[in-house]
Structure 1
């Protein structure tokens, strides 16, 4: 999710991402016996909707509930704002045993096998000709005001395609309890302050689900670097090899249910190459 580290644009992302991009702190030795054998212990941001929330559930909360049920253990959540030091103060401090959403490849955690792949999306007003755009190099975007979360991968594409001069940046590192850049961006899109918005799919998809006024376009046709699709895993401590294998088995056995939760939330699921939407199970 964790929200690409995204909060979570890139925990993505977001934040996806956001866990991967934001988490920080020193490395300390941990032992496998920190993993609880009686409770499914999760670390999560209390205000990182649509991914996680303490007052209102996000889709990562639902995934945690599913896995706790499959393990036949009660769910215990440690709430802590996503940001610098998140992993050091939660997972590595032994307060929990897993972060539900974490971008593949980050060195602060050991990654499980990925349980979904998603992609950045372009969001436009449905009655706007831009709703037909499929790449950020489309000439139709020239001269338009585009919302972009600063420091995220698509910002490079925006700059390379000459769109940055008129772009409106939104902050990446914020306390989501008091700021919500993604919702602010979508509000600006609806008001006409910007012409299009670029968001991490697991954020933009759920936030626009059911809103006929907005069109969501997964950016599947972008071939330039950096890539705009990311595989999302669960993060565990580097020492917890047996726990990682147990979670990998859990993911494999419950993949259809995980996909169902993500689809119901509105997350755009793509194949592992980020080139096409993932087909539903037969």
Structure 2
């Protein structure tokens, strides 16, 4: 497995998003999820991503149990900031210093570890200035509870303000063939400051794989209510999935591998370090995703794929 340096943190070139093992993508399977994490480590995928909000703590417990005897083999990332204690319809984004400290201690306990390699603020806070939040996160670094700091879904301004308080290692944002917002929102500042990008949902929440039927998504799968998957937008976006499939068939690989290869290829074009974290809860899809690192896209492939982002119908959420 190739390695990438994200603002001072050495990680596998591709990580594993663990959210779906606990919530949002249908029924979970504890044993298969743990087996998937173990298989990832065997294949050299050592960059694991979770958050305190995934399954209301369930995902951190799952990941912690899976790595309890192989902690030194992984780079563990988790997040805080989304407070669901009042219910999902009343959730808030918190960043006050006391909350930061409380969340970190709770995550360490659930994960069963003595430090977190990369600790993200999950979204820009609503009840505090970014300086207060990052200042509290910096104290966690000084205390040895956290090694590196990250932010998620921030723009140029917020990243600069945060970095002025403490160096930021990575920004995690949605980035894929059909979501290219970071290119205008934050990439220039990532390059200037030497901060890495961690693309989440690099497969368009599965839409780009051509294996998702929006009509068959269960009630526990949030994609059944997502603007890009449903109604006229879902039908219109099918042409994007079809275009990715056409490139895949020409190359003799899967659509998922084409979509991931495109994301990996953007590192050189954008002049930044990046490590996408495609999520899966099954070993079969994990192995397919890892194989994407061996796929090379030529000029014709890129010409066809690059224009797909302009054809997307519907908001991200």
Shorter-chain TM-score: what band?
A: under 0.3
Q: TM-score normalized by structure 2? A: 0.25
More helix by share: 2
TM-score normalised by structure 1 residue count:
0.27
Flag the structure with more relative contact order, 1 or 2, with Cα contacts below 8 A and sequence separation at least 6. Answer: 1
